[in-house]
Structure 1
Amino acid sequence: MNKLFVGGLADNIQEMDLAIFVSLHGKIDTIKVVRDRATGKCKGYAFIEVESLDDAKNIISMLNGETFKGNVITVKLSEEVAPKKPAPKPRTNEAFKSKRPRLQR
């Protein structure tokens, strides 16, 4: 699966409008328009998943820098961010205590 980032979108964009616009250049699996929770308006970007790398490259080459609904859009491969490792727990004396009692000799 290849994930594309689409930036520069209008705040009133609908998923179906974007799907129709992009699907002319490649087969789309999913679209996620990122919206403000309070207002429901688009934050200006979306993510699109396509199965084929060829479709992804075609969509990028055909739509990057094009005008859509009055805005110039940016289309590029999304950079996956590796999940952060949790911070190590601080060591205390409790952490070193054995869970089983020691035998007295």
Structure 2
Amino acid sequence: MNIFVAKLSFDTQDAGLREAFENFGEVKSAKVIMDNYTGRSKGFGFVEMNDHAEASNAIRSLNDSELDGRTIVVKQAEERGQRSSRY
């Protein structure tokens, strides 16, 4: 399952994101999205976990929790092209 993580601290790096999710199961990948121009974090990232139950538990447990001094938002990532309108 692919997991979207928002409101990350600009100091959070891939390893820290991975570590937070490894408490709930095997993490296939963890990536903080960086701005190509500035090289700075965009404040969100993605984590991929193989086991659906472990991923669901991680989402429930980590949503509205604190990571690197910021309260993060964690939810199942939406497939590209399936995002709902904001308005």
**Structure 1 contact 26–58 (Cα < 8 Å) conserved:** no
SS state at 1:19 partner: helix
TM-score by length of 1: 0.73
Task: Find out whether 1:42 has 2:50 as its counterpart.
Answer: no
Task: Find out whether 1:56 has 2:42 as its counterpart.
Answer: no
SS state at 2:74 partner: strand
Aligned CA RMSD, in angstroms, stands at 1.3
Q: What is the aligned partner in structure 2 of residue 65 from structure 1?
A: 64
TM-score by length of 2: 0.87
Instruction: Kindly state the Cα deviation for residue 71 of structure 1 after the two structures are TM-superposed.
Output: 0.5
- Between structures 1 and 2, the one with greater strand share: 2
Q: Matched residues in 1 for 2:28 and 2:68: separation?
A: 22
Task: Give 5+ residue unaligned stretches, structure 1.
Answer: 84-105
The ranges of structure 1 where at least 4 consecutive aligned residues each deviate by more than 3 angstroms after the TM superposition are none
Q: Matched residues in 2 for 1:45 and 1:15: separation?
A: 11
Q: Which has the higher contact order (CA 8 A, sep 6+)?
A: 2
Q: How many residues align?
A: 82
Partner AA of 2:38 in structure 1? T
**Structure 2 contact 17–31 (Cα < 8 Å) conserved:** no
Identity of aligned residues (%): 32
Cα deviations by residue, 1:47-98 (Å, 9 ceiling, x for unpaired): 1111111011010111000011110001100010238xxxxxxxxxxxxxxx
Instruction: Kindly state the Cα deviation for residue 37 of structure 1 after the two structures are TM-superposed.
Output: 0.9
Q: Matched residues in 1 for 2:26 and 2:61: separation?
A: 14
Partner AA of 1:45 in structure 2? F
Q: What is the aligned partner in structure 1 of residue 85 from structure 2?
A: none
- The higher radius of gyration belongs to 1
